[in-house]
Amino acid sequence: MIRLRKKSVEFLIQSSQQLQATPLVKYTALSLFADRFLPSLTTLLKQGNELGSWLLRSMEDSNLQLFALISIWISSKIHDSRALSVKSLKPLGDKFIKDQHFTTRDFLEAEVVFLQVLHFEIGTSNVAFIFLEELFIKFKGMARVGELVSFEACMDVMDLLYEKEETSILFSSPRSLAASILVTSYVVTVPKQQFEFPVLPWVKFVTSYKEEDIIEKVKDILKHVFKPHC
């Protein structure tokens, strides 16, 4: 399942780029898919697939890739004034999902199954990206050095953490993760001679998280950021 998770999350990220989804749509989709759908699906399958859908009978790359596209579709419906349609998703599936050809009807059924696995709970109040964006805006407004922090780097770090199974647990605490990603980006992108702003005390002030807890998460994140790719 670890290999399948990694491939399907990478597919979701690449598909978001292909569809030119906004960061909010992309990261809400990742939250729905990686943080909620996959763990719930694992539990459901252990209990014997009570939903009975043929889409859940075997968890192969193609099935999970379909559900990854469905998560983008649902996220777009939540956030976009003009949501993505099956007509825009299906050609992407036809091009990149190699092992199975999914019809328009399959997409519609997959959406229902996706929602059933989540028990139709698709709230977006705990998406790490939303907290990160709020913190980043506050930081830029508070300190001149905030102009040197790269939000692209923040998103790159978030992508990397989603792709790695061993760091997926971090998303169970989205607010503290957002704070830790901001500090990580500060450390990585701000020139050392510009480190005059007390970023950790500031994060503690605006989030109420202990500095030592943020430091431990930042160390963990940096370890994975600079870990050689096999």
CATH number of this structure's domain 1-118, picked from the four choices 1.10.3210.10, 3.10.129.10, 1.10.472.10, 1.25.40.10: 1.10.472.10
pLDDT of 37: 93
pLDDT of 229: 57
Q: What is the mean pLDDT of residues 21-32?
A: 96
Task: Look up tokens 């990686």; give the residue.
Answer: 34
Amino acid residing at 125: S
Q: What is the mean pLDDT of residues 76-87?
A: 93
Answer yes or no: is pLDDT of 3 > 70: no
Answer yes or no: is pLDDT of 49 > 70: no
pLDDT of 40: 87
Neighbour-count burial for 21-43, b at 16+ CB within 10 Å, e otherwise = bebbbbbbbbbbbbbbbbebbee
pLDDT of 214: 93
Report how far apart, in Å, the C-alpha atoms of 187 and of each of 67, 130, 142, 198, 222 are: 36, 21, 17, 12, 9
Q: Quick: pLDDT tens for 97-124.
A: 988 889 999 999 999 999 999 989 888 8
pTM for the complete prediction?
Answer: 0.89
Grade residue 2 by pLDDT with cuts at 50, 70 and 90.
low
Q: What is the mean pLDDT of residues 79-108?
A: 91
Q: Quick: pLDDT tens for 57-80.
A: 777 789 999 999 999 999 999 999
What are the domain boundaries of the chain?
A: 1-118, 128-226
| Helix (H) or strand (E) run with residue 11 in it | helix 2-18
Answer yes or no: is pLDDT of 6 > 80: yes
pLDDT of 16: 95
Report how far apart, in Å, the C-alpha atoms of 12 and of each of 90, 122, 159, 189 are: 14, 18, 10, 26
pLDDT of 195: 63
Q: Quick: pLDDT tens for 29-45.
A: 999 999 999 988 887 77
Q: What is the mean pLDDT of residues 5-10?
A: 89
Neighbours of 223 (CB within 10 A): 10
pLDDT of 164: 83
Q: Quick: pLDDT tens for 122-133.
A: 888 889 999 999
Q: Quick: pLDDT tens for 155-210.
A: 999 999 998 878 877 888 899 999 999 999 998 888 776 567 788 999 999 998 99
pLDDT of 43: 79
